[in-house]
Amino acid sequence: MNLVLVESPAKAKTIEKYLGKEYKVFATLGHVIDLPKNKLAVDVDNGYKPDFVTIKGKGTLLTKLRKEVPKDGSVYLAMDPDREGEAIAYHAAQALKLKDPKRITFNEITKDAVLKSINSPRVVDMDLVTAQFARRVLDRLVGYKVSGLLWKKIRYGLSAGRVQSVALRLIAERESEITSFIPQEYWEVYVDLITQNGDVVRFKLVKVNGKTFKANNSAQIEEILQDINSPKYSIEAVKKGKRVASAPPPFTTSTLQQAGNNHLGYSAKKTMALAQGLYQKGHITYMRTDSVNLSKDAIDAFRGYISKSFGDSYVPATPNYFKKSSKLAQEAHEAIRPTDISKSSAALGDAEAQEKKLYDLIRNRALASQMSPALYDTYNIDASPEGMKEKYTFNVKAQNCTFEGFKKLWNVKYGKEDEDVQEISKIEQGDLLDKKEVTPLQKFTEPKSRYTEATLVKQLELLGVGRPSTYATTISTIMDRGYVVKIEKKLAPTDIGMIVNGFLVSHFTRMVDYKYTAKVEDGLDGIALGKVKYEPFIDQEYKPLMADIERIDKEVKKEDIVVLEKSDEKCPECGSDMVVKLGRFGKFLSCSNFPECKGMKNLESDDFVLDENKYVKEDKCATCGKDMIIKNGKFGRYWACIDYPKCKTALPLRLLEKCPECGSNLVERKGRWGKTFTGCSAYPKCKYIKKAKKES
């Protein structure tokens, strides 16, 4: 009897179908050993040795797996074909004390691939394992040390990471560009002309008196409109050409995440989870890959399917091959594709609805990558109002598709050539066309838009920051930390996100530098190839980091970091200017002379109005007699003395409704698990809780 170990039950279930009775397949449920969460767990004085421990809850699983280890048979470690999978395999072997484990990998979970790997096992690649350890240790050192400084200088509970901090920087800098952008007015003039066939083609004014047309006010436009009132326009020049639009490459991890977001609206995290499910069920190849290559067998199968389904004209004379534009290149050797191209999503009986949508995307893109190019006749056409050739030139760039090629399956805009290009019927030089309408458009320059998940992933890959397989986790982390939120599907930094980014960019320039972060990835690649040593690599990253932390700890004051912006308000204590700061519970006004002057003012960020038909209005502070104001804290709104922090009087928002047991006012509270309930304000003396009405 032989034992095969994989990461997930779904993968185990699929592999079991292909192996005979002499094999048992069990899942480790991911990592079994990792760094503990509650301490640094890296011995910085002893070669940066990681202190790995058994993950909580995995002890029982390991005991069970030890009983399954055969006395006479072999143990196969069939974890994923990347560094992460190699590390899981190594730790599983160590935890189970396996004497001679056999490492097997496959890029797709098909019968042929699994059986082939069983027949050609290898040993665990310790260079790949060490590279994964280096990433884990470096991320722990950076995260642990820098996060501790954030707690001290800004507030408790914040975190920083090697890749997440760069992602946050991109989002925050884009927001700053948008905020500081000053729109500039400009005008465009269009004329719609009716062709001989009755089609309407829109031309744009590009030249006036032989010079490029520019207008920034309506007066200029009024003068032009009065001048171009001719009912006829003559076609002055027609430049004809040909355009070939080549097929796109099959998906990599990064481009799949971008397409999942752009076409299906899925987050990077969701796209990867769905792809993981498809892979484990044997429907697609491994989904963590930087390669755009396809195997010869896959290409042959694709070309045969295309010929049969669409005709020989859709099959190029020679297969399409692609070069990876990104410098990222990791372990997996093939792009993401279906394992059986003949299967449509309808044939995937074990796939969920969203998995099927993603499968269709993967399948169509993979097939399109091996289809003939799309062919176009192109036109660059100049027109002028009749008799005004020398004064006004209108232009349109247009095209006719003569052969759709790969766009039969992947008919999306792919490249700048397809943007806003009109399809037209025949137009010849010398034609005299009827004017339908002249349209002046007032416009304003716009800043770059906020990043979507797709555009952020694209930019991270372009910069060489991190690995595409980590982007989903990176984006979800900065959102979970409260640094970034989604507004209309776009990523925007929060106030605390801007504060943290400002702190990191000002004081940790090396850590958040794009080129430096990409260089770290090169070092990790070097370890994986056996060309870079672990300890010197970590050493050259860790020691400069600690030097920065020691310097910043001495030089930087907390009160200088949390300032968001200046204010027109004056301090009620000393009359100095006030600044907007970010505290634990939101924005507030603070004296610019803090800590010498501790003058403060409340600054509500919303339009909350007290419902006096529901709540008691607290007028004066019972301690000092000054006004009471409503503040917004960690547990919701509450009344506080306006003279805080000198006077620390605070009260909950009391309901007008009285407690039936003691006569005190009732209040709304949040329980341990976040559920709201109504109880007595005299708690703990009175423990009355109002019963919630049952939903009908």
Q: Which residues are catalytic?
A: 286
Where are the extended beta strands (E) located within 571-643? 577-583, 586-591, 600-602, 628-633, 636-641
Q: Which of 286, 293, 305 is nearest to 250 (CA)?
A: 293
Q: Tell me how far CA of residue 476 lies from CA of 91, 147, 296, 480, in angstroms.
A: 27, 18, 37, 6
Q: Tell me how far CA of residue 643 lies from CA of 2, 10, 63, in angstroms.
A: 74, 61, 61
Q: Which two tokens stand for residue 246?
A: 């080549």
- With 0-12 / 13-18 / 19 or more C-beta atoms within 10 angstroms meaning exposed / middle / buried, residue 204 is middle
Three-state DSSP at 605 gives: coil
State how far the Cα of 358 lies from the Cα of 277, in Å rounded to an integer: 11
Residue 6: strand pairing partners? 27
Sheet holding 636-641, edge to edge: 628-633, 636-641, 650-652
Torsion over CA: 252, 257, 263, 269 (sign):
positive
* Residues 612, 616, 621, 622, Cα dihedral to 10°: 150
Yes or no: say if 468 and 254 are a contact pair by the CB < 8 Å rule.
yes
State how far the Cα of 117 lies from the Cα of 103, in Å rounded to an integer: 9
Q: Which of 492, 604, 624 is nearest to 176 (CA)?
A: 492
Q: Which two tokens stand for residue 47?
A: 């070669």
State how far the Cα of 575 lies from the Cα of 374, in Å rounded to an integer: 71
Q: Which two tokens stand for residue 275?
A: 């792809």
Yes or no: say if 450 and 175 are a contact pair by the CB < 8 Å rule.
yes
Three-state DSSP at 57 gives: coil
Regarding beta strands 185-194 and 432-444, do their DSSP bridges make them parallel or antiparallel, or are they unpaired?
A: antiparallel
State how far the Cα of 78 lies from the Cα of 93, in Å rounded to an integer: 12
Yes or no: say if 257 and 457 are a contact pair by the CB < 8 Å rule.
yes
Yes or no: say if 385 and 233 are a contact pair by the CB < 8 Å rule.
yes
Encode burial over 330-358: b for 16+ CB neighbours within 10 A, e otherwise. bbbebbbbbbebeeebeebeebeebbbbb
Q: Give one DSSP letter per residue of 141-193, joined into a string.
A: HHHHHHHHHHHHHT-TT----TTHHHHHHHHHHHHHHHHH----EEEEEEEEE
Torsion over CA: 386, 390, 392, 394 (sign):
positive
Torsion over CA: 456, 459, 463, 468 (sign):
positive
Q: Which residues contact 664 (CB under 8 A, 6 or more apart)?
A: 658, 680, 681, 682, 686
One-letter amino acid for residue 523 of the chain: G
Neighbours of 273 (CB within 10 A): 15
Three-state DSSP at 601 gives: strand
State how far the Cα of 191 lies from the Cα of 383, in Å rounded to an integer: 10
Residue 401: strand pairing partners? 376
Q: Which residues contact 96 (CB under 8 A, 6 or more apart)?
A: 62, 65, 66, 69, 75
Q: Which of 83, 169, 272 is nearest to 517 (CA)?
A: 169
